[in-house]
Amino acid sequence: MSQQDYYEFLQISANAEPDTIHRVYRFLAIRLHPDNPETGDAEKFFLLKEAYEVLSNPERRAEYDADRKKGLNEPIPLSTTIDFMDNMEGELNRRLAVLALLYIQRRTNPYKPEVPLLEIENRMGFPREYLEFTMWYLKNKGYITRADNQEFTLTAVGVDFVESQRADIPILNRLLTTGSGPVSGEPGMENKILTPHRAPIIVPAVDDGSEKSGASGDDKA
């Protein structure tokens, strides 16, 4: 199977009807066509045609779905390509990875946007002990919610963050596009992802009045 997930590329459910596939294809074809001076992308346009040729053909789609299902059973952990363990930088990457996973789930499966914690563990490639602070932060920030069954869902606030920051955070864009982070040693990518001026995007700006004289608990956010 192609390394690119056709359903994720088209941002549709794996159960999408043929009419939906055709409609999305026509929309993206106009957007990605090389002749479009604003949004044209020859490489993505070629991939779009490839995806449509497969998914619009019942027999080829059935074969693709079977291969895709096998591949989904053993996903490559994101920890093989992303540094999740380097102090604060690793924590920032964990947050972005969780947001990307939940965003993809919500976009491709709108009627089942929940993702179990165990699946997040497996997809990221390390135990939940390393995710406790990450999930606590994202939940209290309002980016995600957690159900009683320990399944997580991206909120509207989380969607807004992902979509508004995607262009400014290379690692987030890569996670959303390919499902993986930067390959170790990729020239120049590390500085683009983890330069200090990007960190505050994910770290909350808290004004609790603690440094102001006379501030009271009633003034805290």
Say how many domains are in the chain. 2
∠48-70-52 over CA atoms, to 5°? Answer: 15
Residue 208 DSSP class? -
Please state the separation of Cα 107 from the chain's center in Å: 10
* Amino acid at position 94, single letter: R
What distance lies between CA 204 and its chain's CA centroid?
20
Same domain as 86, residue 10: no
Domain of residue 25, residue span? 6-73
- Looking at the structure, tell me whether residues 105 and 160 fall in a common domain: yes
3-class SS of residue 146: strand
Residue 190 is assigned to a structural domain of this protein: yes
Q: Which residue has the tokens 């390959």?
A: 183
216 within a domain of the structure (yes/no):
no
CA dist 212 and 167 (Å) reads 36
Residue 45 lies in a domain: yes
Of 22, 48, 73, the one marking the end of a domain is: 73
pLDDT in tens, 159-216: 999 999 988 888 888 888 865 433 333 333 333 333 333 333 343 444 545 444 444 4
- Has this prediction a pTM greater than 0.75? no
Which parts of the chain sit beneath pLDDT 50? 1-2, 180-206, 208, 210-221
Nearest 5°: the CA angle 145, 147, 152 is 50
